[in-house]
Structure 1
Amino acid sequence: MKPFRTVIAGCGGMANTWVEYALKRPDTEIVALVDLHPQSAENLKIRHELQCPTFTSLTEALEHTNANLVLDITIPDAHKDIALTAFAAGCDVLGEKPMASSLQDAQEMLEAAQNAGRTYAIMQNRRYLKPIRAFRDLVHSGKIGKPGFATANFFIGAHFGGFRDLMDSPLVLDMAIHTFDQARFILQADPVSVYCHEFNPAGSWYRGNAAAVCIFEMSDGSVFTYNGSWCAEGAFTAWEADWRVMGSLGTALWDGKNLPFAEVVTDPEQQAFHRDAHRIEAELLWEGQEGHFGCLDEMFGALLENRVPETSCTDNIHSMKMVFGALESARRGEKVLL
C-alpha cells in the first residue's frame, strides 16, 4: 500500500496541476475524486485515465476509501468544511490558497489541525522560484546590512471578467496574498500592524476597489509598503511584483523576472555626499522544482520527514492576517494592529 492514499477535493481550476504532480509520485495513489458537479470529477478522471471512484461528498469519499491525505483545490468558501471533515477522519490536508475566506475561519482550521495532530499546508507557489530564493538569500547575506524598508510594486491590467469584476476588494482579497506572503518570506518577519487605503482608480472596469496602498510594520522593525493595482494599463510589472529592500549598507533589487542584484556601499566610513557603491549579483543556488511542483515537493517532503512544512497553516495564518488586516484598516480608515 502506498504511503499517500489521496483524495482530490475540487476537480476544476488548478486540479489538473495537482493531479499531474500526484501521478508523478511513486508513493502516491489517488483513491477518489470529489466535486459537487459529477461531470467535473468525471472529466478529470477521463483526462488523466484514473481508475478511482468519484463522489459529490468528501465525507462519503472518506467513508468508502482508506484515504489519509486530502488535496483541497475547492473554492475558498469551501476550504473550512473540507479541512474540518478531513481532520475528523484522520487525514492530513494540503490545500490551495487562500487558507480560508475569513480570518476567523482560518484560525478555527488551524486549531482543528493542531487538536487532531494533523498537517495542514497551503499552496504559496511564488515562494518556489529560483530568483526569489536568491533575492531572499541576498537580503539576508549581511551584504546590505540590516533591512529596514522594503517596497513591492504590483501593476497589472487584468481583464478577467467573471466574479473578480464584481468583488468588493478584488486586488487585496484575491491577489495580494501572494505578494504579502512573499514579503514575509523575503524579510523573514511577520506583520505587526497595517494601514491600508483601498480605492478604485479612474477607468477601472472593476465594481470594487481594484487598487490599494498598504503600510505594514514588521516584527524585525522594518516597514514594508505595497502599491498595487489590477486595472493599470500599460507598463506592467511582473506578477511576482517589483521589489526593493533597503538595508543599512545598501539596497537589493528584484524586478520579479530577472536575476536580483544589490548596490552596496564600498566603504561605510567614506566621508562623501554620495558614498561609492558596487554591484553584487545574486546567486541562483536553489535547485528545487519551481512553482506549484516546488511547493508540493516541500509539502510531501515534510509529511515523509514528520516535520512542519514551510507553508504550514501555523505560518500561513500570518499572511492571512495581512490580507484581512488590510481590509479592516481600509474599512475603518486607521492603522490596525495584527
Structure 2
Amino acid sequence: MSDDHCANLEFRPRLPRDKSVGIGCIGAGFIMSDCHLVAYRQAGFNPVAIAARRQEQADSVAHRHGILNVYTDYNELLANPAVQVVDVAVPPDLQLSVIQQIVTHADHIRGVLAQKPLGVDYQQAVEAVRLCREAGITLSVNQNMRYDQSVRACRSLLDSGKLGEPVLATIDMRAIPHWMPWQSRQGWVTLRIMSIHHLDTLRYWFGDPVRVYASVRPDPRTTFPHEDGICLYILEYANGLRAMGCDDVWAGPSKEGSAADIGIRWRVEGTSGMARGTIGWPSYPERTPSTLDYTTTQSPQWHMPRWDEVWFPDAFVGPMAQLLCALEDNQIPEISAEDNLKTMALVEACYRSAREHRAVELTEITG
C-alpha cells in the first residue's frame, strides 16, 4: 500500500486463527470456481467437498482447486460430517430449498454463507433466516462488495471521523454486466443483482435510510423480460444525509459499435473531508485495483493510498473469513443474515417505489 500518511487504513479482512474448518461448496459456476475457491486457496481455507448438477463441471472445478469429495447431489455433500460450513452459490430461486435441506444437518453444520440476493424477495429471505436461527446455524450473506478494498478503506475513513459528518454520497456505475442464463427466468435483473451491491455498500457506510425513491427503465440490450434495467435511486437519512446511485447497465451503444466509457465511481462528501474512488471490477479479468483518494480540512492535499489486491477474486476472502471468525469467537458475523434483511428490504422498497412512483419508507417492507 502506497502513501505512508494513509497506512493505517483498515481495508483487509480479519482472518480466523483456525483455517482448517471444512467448507462444503454447493455450485460450480463462475463465481465459485473463479472467485470463491481462488480466494479460499489464497487464504489457506479448507474446502473439502463440492456439489454441482453436472458431473463434468463438478469434476473439473474439484480438480482445479484440489477438492477430494465431489457430488452431483448436494444432499450427499450435506451428509458428509467433514462439512462444517456450507458455501451456497446457486441461483436465488433455488437458494431457499437448499437452506431447507441444510438445516436438517444441524448436528455437524455450524455455518452457512449464502449468495446474495438471499432468495427471490424479502419474504424468502425472512424464511431463510428463520430456518437457520431455529436450527442453531449461523447464516451469513456474501455481500462481497463490502470487502472491495476501496469500499472498506472508505469505511475506515468514516469510522476515524476524518470526513466529519457525511453530507452527500454517490455511486455511479456505467458498466455492462454479463448476465447469467438463470437470470432470464427471474423477471428482474439489475436491482437485485447489481444495485444490491451498491445499496448494501451505502448501508455499510452510513446505516439505514428512512426512505428511498427509485426510478427504473428496461435496458435496451437485455432481451429477456425485465423492468429494472437502468436504475436510479435516492436514499434519505434522518440526519439529513442524502445518498444516490445510478446503475447504468446500458452504458451507451459500445457493444453496438460506439466508443466505450466504462467504469464505476463513488464519492463521499463530509463536513470536514471528502473521499472519492473507483471500483476496478468492470475491467475483470484484467487485475485492476479499486482506488481511493481523500482530502480533509486538517490535511488539505489529496492522499492517494493504493494496493495490489482487487475485488475479483481477492475480496472474496472477506465474506468467508468473517463467518469463520464469528464461529471461532461465538459472535455475530459482520454480515449477519439478520442485518442483510435490511438490505433485502431496501431493494424491495426500490421495486415498490419504481412501480408506484413515490418514496417508500423501509418500515413499509419490514413492518
Band of TM-score, shorter chain: 0.7 to 0.9
Secondary structure of the residue that 1:279 maps to in structure 2?
A: coil
Q: Which residue of 1 aligns with 2:292?
A: 259
Q: Which residue of 2 aligns with 1:43?
A: 60
Q: Which residue of 2 aligns with 1:18?
A: 36
- Report whether the alignment pairs 1:293 with 2:313: no
Aligned with 2:202 (options 150, 171, 183): 183
Unaligned runs of 5+ residues in structure 2 are 1-18, 253-259, 280-289, 363-367
In the TM superposition, 1:42-191 aligns within 5 A as 42-58=59-75, 60-63=76-79, 65-90=81-106, 91=109, 92-158=111-177, 160=179, 162=181, 168-187=187-206, 189-191=207-209
Cα-to-partner distance string for 1:113-169 (whole Å, 9 max, x where unaligned): 222221111112222233222222223433332113211111113465855578644
Q: Summarize the Cα distance change of 1:71–1:164 in structure 2 as closer, same or farther, 3 Å threshold.
A: closer
Secondary structure of the residue that 1:181 maps to in structure 2?
A: helix
Q: How many residue pairs were aligned? A: 319
Q: Which residue of 2 aligns with 1:278?
A: 300
Report the alpha carbon displacement of residue 221 of structure 1 after superposing the two structures with TM. 4.5
Report the alpha carbon displacement of residue 292 of structure 1 after superposing the two structures with TM. 0.5
Instruction: Give percent identity, aligned residues only.
Output: 24
| Equivalent pair of 2:115/2:141 in contact (CA under 8 Å) | yes
Report the alpha carbon displacement of residue 217 of structure 1 after superposing the two structures with TM. 2.1
Q: Summarize the Cα distance change of 1:65–1:322 in structure 2 as closer, same or farther, 3 Å threshold.
A: same
Secondary structure of the residue that 1:291 maps to in structure 2?
A: helix
- Report whether the alignment pairs 1:34 with 2:51: yes
Cα-to-partner distance string for 1:62-88 (whole Å, 9 max, x where unaligned): 335453321111111111111222123
In the TM superposition, 1:172-251 aligns within 5 A as 172-187=191-206, 189-200=207-218, 204-206=221-223, 208=226, 209-218=228-237, 221-233=240-252, 234-238=260-264, 242-251=265-274
Matching residue's letter, 2:129: L
Report the alpha carbon displacement of residue 35 of structure 1 after superposing the two structures with TM. 2.3
TM-score by length of 2: 0.76
Q: Summarize the Cα distance change of 1:4–1:216 in structure 2 as closer, same or farther, 3 Å threshold.
A: same
Once residues 96 and 214 of structure 2 are traced to their aligned partners in structure 1, the CA distance between those partners, rounded to angstroms, is 27
Q: Summarize the Cα distance change of 1:236–1:53 in structure 2 as closer, same or farther, 3 Å threshold.
A: closer
Once residues 117 and 50 of structure 1 are traced to their aligned partners in structure 2, the CA distance between those partners, rounded to angstroms, is 27
| Equivalent pair of 1:80/1:105 in contact (CA under 8 Å) | yes
Once residues 158 and 33 of structure 1 are traced to their aligned partners in structure 2, the CA distance between those partners, rounded to angstroms, is 26
| Equivalent pair of 1:214/1:227 in contact (CA under 8 Å) | yes
| Equivalent pair of 2:162/2:296 in contact (CA under 8 Å) | no
| Equivalent pair of 1:130/1:284 in contact (CA under 8 Å) | no
Cα-to-partner distance string for 1:265-284 (whole Å, 9 max, x where unaligned): x6xxxxxxxxxx93352657
Once residues 211 and 274 of structure 2 are traced to their aligned partners in structure 1, the CA distance between those partners, rounded to angstroms, is 24
Secondary structure of the residue that 1:112 maps to in structure 2?
A: helix
Matching residue's letter, 1:52: N
- Who wins on radius of gyration, i.e. which is larger? 1
Q: Summarize the Cα distance change of 1:112–1:211 in structure 2 as closer, same or farther, 3 Å threshold.
A: same
Higher relative contact order (CA 8 A, sep 6+): 2
Once residues 165 and 76 of structure 1 are traced to their aligned partners in structure 2, the CA distance between those partners, rounded to angstroms, is 12
Cα-to-partner distance string for 1:191-237 (whole Å, 9 max, x where unaligned): 32111111136x54455332111111236542211112100123222
| Equivalent pair of 2:155/2:205 in contact (CA under 8 Å) | yes
Q: CA RMSD in A?
A: 3.1
Report the alpha carbon displacement of residue 179 of structure 1 after superposing the two structures with TM. 1.0
Unaligned runs of 5+ residues in structure 1 are 267-276
Q: Summarize the Cα distance change of 1:147–1:109 in structure 2 as closer, same or farther, 3 Å threshold.
A: same
TM-score by length of 1: 0.82
Once residues 45 and 134 of structure 1 are traced to their aligned partners in structure 2, the CA distance between those partners, rounded to angstroms, is 34
